[in-house]
Amino acid sequence: MKTLTDTFGRKFPYIRLSITDVCNYKCTYCLPEGYKKMPGDTRNFMTGEEISRLTKALSELGVCKIRLTGGEPTVRKDFFDILKNMKKNSNIPKITMTTNGYQLDKIAKRLHESGLDGINISIDSLNRETFKKLTGHDRLLQILEGIKILQGLNFKNIKVNAVLLKGINDTYEEFEEFGDFIKNNKIDFRFIELMQTGDNLDFFKKNHVSSKIFKDYLKKNKWVYQTYGKDAGPSLNYIHPEYKGKFGLIAPYSKDFCKTCNRLRITSRGDLRLCLFGNTGISLRHLLQNDSQKDELVDLIIKQLHLKKESHHLELGKTGITPNLSSTGG
């Protein structure tokens, strides 16, 4: 079987697949003015058919997990068609998604019925007012309700992500609030260290907090580091005997972050991105036009992988061609 291996020996069983750039939230660190269509942009995101061809090719390359992302993946009208088709026809064992959960209470049952294998929900604050200020939407309660519905359906793989932000969620009291949330709740709660992107330099300078503060908290409170599997995401996970849920930390500025990189990104317009902060996007679109192109597509992806760099050098402020994560697929 063909596999995706780069020149540094890293393997890539995990793809983050964006299906739209559009997001309905206005997160202060990502799209503070909301999603704006650029002049001339036709929003020609990959069609369901193109996505289907792509995922079949990826399965031939040993990919065993695809995370649907965006933008906000659920704003796409054919979101459930895409998901169901992937579950039925792609041969990829795990299909998961990242969402802001804005209609989770309404779609939880359908997500479960569609066979989704895992969900990451972004909740930067458990305080309703703060949540509203950060996202522009007073939706926290409905999202929490959606999580309860998923749990009632025995949906197993639920993760909550929060971006670590100065003055918002970076104190021991706030960490404890999140701890209370996962104490009797089998949910993984992970902090993502705020990343600089092309558009957010000022915000980044004012609001970036090193992930060390959370690492120190975990150590002080006897959380124990747990190792992870081959298709796991970038999170360092921690367990505690008194908690049903886990804590996690995604620390892209840490020294060896890229050494364990196991994922590639494909944008909603069909560009292969070897790194979230790389300088090139390689279009796959021309090879998604009919089924007979599959072998050519597989070969192109393998060939491009040789260009993957050892590290992103984000610590030097090199954000590549990513203006915000919504445009690339976070």
**Position 234 contacts ligand SAM (CB under 6 A):** no
**Position 122 contacts ligand SAM (CB under 6 A):** yes
**Closest Cα partner for 77 from 1, 130, 20?**
20
Rounded CA Rg of the chain = 19
Report in angstroms how near the CB of residue 302 gets to ligand SAM at its nearest: 27
249: Cα separation from own chain's centroid: 13
**Position 235 contacts ligand SAM (CB under 6 A):** no
User: What is the spatial distance between Cα 246 and Cα 233, in angstroms, rounded to a whole number?
Assistant: 14
- Tokens of residue 221, six digits: 């409170």
**Position 118 contacts ligand SAM (CB under 6 A):** no
In the complex with ligand SAM, the residue whose CB is nearer, 83 or 297, is 83
User: What is the spatial distance between Cα 270 and Cα 177, in angstroms, rounded to a whole number?
Assistant: 40
DSSP assignment letter at 37: P
**Position 195 contacts ligand SAM (CB under 6 A):** yes
State the Cα angle at 269 between 263 and 92, rounded to 5°. Answer: 45
Per-residue x/- mask for ligand SAM, residues 39 to 78, rule CB under 6 A?
------------------------------xx-x------
- Tokens of residue 143, six digits: 């999202």
Consecutive H or E run containing 189? strand 188-193
In the complex with ligand SAM, the residue whose CB is nearer, 72 or 271, is 72
In the complex with ligand SAM, the residue whose CB is nearer, 24 or 305, is 24
- Interacting span for ligand SAM (CB under 6 A) from 56-64, 126-134, 214-222, 322-330: 322-330
Helix axes of 104-113 and 140-152: crossing angle, nearest 10 degrees: 30
DSSP assignment letter at 5: B
**Position 83 contacts ligand SAM (CB under 6 A):** no
**Position 134 contacts ligand SAM (CB under 6 A):** no
**Position 267 contacts ligand SAM (CB under 6 A):** no
Q: Give the residues lining the site for ligand SAM (CB under 6 A).
A: 23, 29-30, 69-70, 72, 98-100, 122, 161, 163, 192, 194-195, 197, 200, 325-326, 330
